[in-house]
Structure 1
Amino acid sequence: MIFANASMKSTKENFLAIIDSNKVVKLESLMKSCPKDMISFIEKYNSKLQEEIHKILKDKNIPTIAREDIVLLSPIPYPRRNVFCLGKNYIEHANEIKSIPGGDNMVPKEPIYFTKLAYPCMGPEDIILSHKSFTNQLDYEVELTIIIGKKGTNIVKEEAEDYIFGYTIGNDFSVRDIQKKHIQWFKGKSMDTCCSIGPYIVSKEDIPFPPSLDISCSINGEVRQNSNTSKLIFDIPTIIHDLSKGLTLYPGDIIMTGTPAGVGLGFDPPRTLEAGDVVECKIEKIGTLRNYIEK
């Protein structure tokens, strides 16, 4: 199933929905006491509710909305916690970011984590601030993004998938000069609007585990990043197992799994983002996350 946070174009009414082909079904049509936000829905979601929703969806009398009548919003516009991120998790990317502190070309022996403030977390078609008053080094990073489905600590690899709600696309926008200046990565990764996810969340049942999906990012139609998630140095079972050691994961937590080679900083000279650029992140079986850089 494809879960979305949407708004009616005509009334600006926001609602949670399931997208099926070109039709949209409001979740409130499928369940009693429908939560108002995605995290609350994820907390309530279980195998029994999943079966009930599948059953009700088969009813041809369920009211639907045409896809062209809605606008997709960020699936989780206000995360309850910071976004968890993996650094240097593709070999080629590890080799291209030598100029960033901690970015030498050694392949990491252990996962590299950092945190990213995303409040709000932007969504599809949103404008990303250029922060041009103090930088000209805004960069892009397409990432397969995990949405955690239930609370867990010290999760074993064999049970990692049980703790996943679904997957979406993430763009870990990064201000490179700030990232270099501050040595650690938090500030350069956490400027306003520098996190985008979407266009929706695809349930884990629809994607084979562990995911082996084509992943790419293009700027104004030019493909810059092009890889497959099977090339992750630390795969998803490893990430969930290792991250959850002594650290409790909660429903709605967002984990960005790392970006492949081809970021703007990796070019000589660098090809970071400019005003008016169109950034399109694509992942097989999920869709396209498109954003626009402020003019």
Structure 2
Amino acid sequence: MKLVSFEYQGRPGWGIAEEQGLRDMSAALPGIASLKALLAADALDAAREAAASAPSLAMDAVTLLPVIPDPSKIICCGLNYDEHRIESNNPERGHPTLFVRFADSQAAHGARVEHPPETTKLDYEAELAVVIGHGGRRIARDAAWSHVAGYACYNDISVRDWQKHSSQMTPGKNFPTTGSFGPWLVTRDEIDDLASLAIRSRLNGKVMQDAHLGDMIFDIPQLIEYISTFTPLSPGDVILTGTPGGVGLRRDPPVFMKPGDRIEVEIEKIGLLANPIV
């Protein structure tokens, strides 16, 4: 399934994306108000069963929201591809480099990403988002996949100068609308071989990043095991798994996004996330 969060005629909802539009599952299952609630209720099978009788909506009749608009946690892994680690002049590390993003910094597929007036260094970062289905604490690596609901595209946009103000990346990772998340959540059962999938970013149609998810230094089970050791994971929590090499800051000359640009993140079999910069 491809699960979306949206707003329709002033009300938030969630649904299942199809070729001709979407099924309004918030109308079919009124007791489940959001994707996060769906995951907390462990009701993916119920959604599949109810989809055929759910009302249909045209995609252009709704306003998409970030896949999970209100996750309890967004935990991001930096420097998780060797090419990016090397271009950033960082040494190898024995543990993931982690930081947090706030839920209210997110934007949906198609939404305008606002270029902050405080910077000239707005940078793209194509990433795979992993959404937690079953929560837990101290999750063993060999059990990690059973805690994953599915995957989405994410653009973990960086305000580079604010990111570099200190050793902590939080200010440069939390300007409003800089966490683009969408267009949908592809459930885990839809993907057979995640590691083989290509991940790319394109700026105004030009490929800027091009890698495979199998190039990660710390894979998804390692990340879930490590993160859940120090904090409980809950349904709807989001783990961002890092960006490949080719970011704008490390190009010669550097390439940063500016108003009028269009940035895309595409992950094979998962989706295409696109946003204009304004």
Report the TM range for the smaller structure's normalisation: over 0.9
Task: Determine if the alignment matches structure 1 residue 65 to structure 2 residue 57.
Answer: yes
Are the counterparts in 2 of residues 161 and 209 from structure 1 also a CA contact under 8 Å? no
Measured after TM superposition, the shift of residue 13 of structure 1 is: 4.1
Task: Determine if the alignment matches structure 1 residue 55 to structure 2 residue 49.
Answer: yes
Partner residue, 2:171: 187
Matched AA of 2:66: S
Partner residue, 1:38: 35
Q: Distance in 2 between matches of 1:162 and 1:168?
A: 17
Q: Distance in 1 between matches of 2:106 and 2:136?
A: 23
Over 3 Å counting, the alpha-carbon distance change for 1:51 and 1:172 in structure 2 is closer
Partner residue, 1:97: 88
Partner residue, 1:101: none
Structure ID, larger Rg: 1
Partner residue, 1:160: 144
What aligned pairs does 1:23-34 form with structure 2 within 5 A after superposition?
23-31=21-29, 33-34=30-31
Measured after TM superposition, the shift of residue 92 of structure 1 is: 0.4
Matched AA of 1:55: E
Measured after TM superposition, the shift of residue 159 of structure 1 is: 0.9
Over 3 Å counting, the alpha-carbon distance change for 1:269 and 1:171 in structure 2 is same
Q: Distance in 2 between matches of 1:180 and 1:43?
A: 37
Task: Determine if the alignment matches structure 1 residue 119 to structure 2 residue 104.
Answer: yes
Matched AA of 2:5: N
Matched AA of 2:196: S
Measured after TM superposition, the shift of residue 291 of structure 1 is: 1.1
Over 3 Å counting, the alpha-carbon distance change for 1:51 and 1:250 in structure 2 is closer
Partner residue, 1:74: 66
What aligned pairs does 1:270-285 form with structure 2 within 5 A after superposition?
270-285=254-269
Are the counterparts in 2 of residues 118 and 192 from structure 1 also a CA contact under 8 Å? no
Are the counterparts in 2 of residues 147 and 166 from structure 1 also a CA contact under 8 Å? yes
In structure 1, the residue corresponding to 2:44 is in which secondary structure? helix
Percent identical among aligned pairs is 33
In structure 1, the residue corresponding to 2:199 is in which secondary structure? strand
> Which residue of the other structure, out of 270, 274, 278, is the alignment partner of 1:290?
274
Measured after TM superposition, the shift of residue 120 of structure 1 is: 4.1
Are the counterparts in 1 of residues 263 and 274 from structure 2 also a CA contact under 8 Å? yes
> Which residue of the other structure, out of 118, 121, 125, is the alignment partner of 1:137?
121
Are the counterparts in 1 of residues 26 and 33 from structure 2 also a CA contact under 8 Å? no
Are the counterparts in 2 of residues 124 and 198 from structure 1 also a CA contact under 8 Å? yes
Measured after TM superposition, the shift of residue 110 of structure 1 is: 1.7
Matched AA of 2:78: G
Measured after TM superposition, the shift of residue 209 of structure 1 is: 5.5
Measured after TM superposition, the shift of residue 12 of structure 1 is: 4.3
Are the counterparts in 2 of residues 78 and 121 from structure 1 also a CA contact under 8 Å? no
Measured after TM superposition, the shift of residue 216 of structure 1 is: 0.4
Partner residue, 1:14: 12
Runs ≥4 residues deviating over 4 A:
none
Task: Give the gaps of 5 or more residues in structure 2.
Answer: none
In structure 2, the residue corresponding to 1:52 is in which secondary structure? helix
Measured after TM superposition, the shift of residue 72 of structure 1 is: 2.2
Task: Give the gaps of 5 or more residues in structure 1.
Answer: 99-103
Task: Determine if the alignment matches structure 1 residue 85 to structure 2 residue 82.
Answer: no
Over 3 Å counting, the alpha-carbon distance change for 1:71 and 1:236 in structure 2 is same
Are the counterparts in 2 of residues 90 and 233 from structure 1 also a CA contact under 8 Å? yes
In structure 1, the residue corresponding to 2:229 is in which secondary structure? coil
Q: Distance in 2 between matches of 1:209 and 1:27?
A: 28
Q: Distance in 2 between matches of 1:62 and 1:125?
A: 25
* Root-mean-square deviation over aligned CA pairs: 1.8
Normalization by structure 2: what TM-score? 0.93
Partner residue, 2:200: 216
In structure 1, the residue corresponding to 2:39 is in which secondary structure? helix
Are the counterparts in 2 of residues 78 and 120 from structure 1 also a CA contact under 8 Å? no
Using the TM superposition, name which of 192-201 and 33-42 deviates more: 33-42
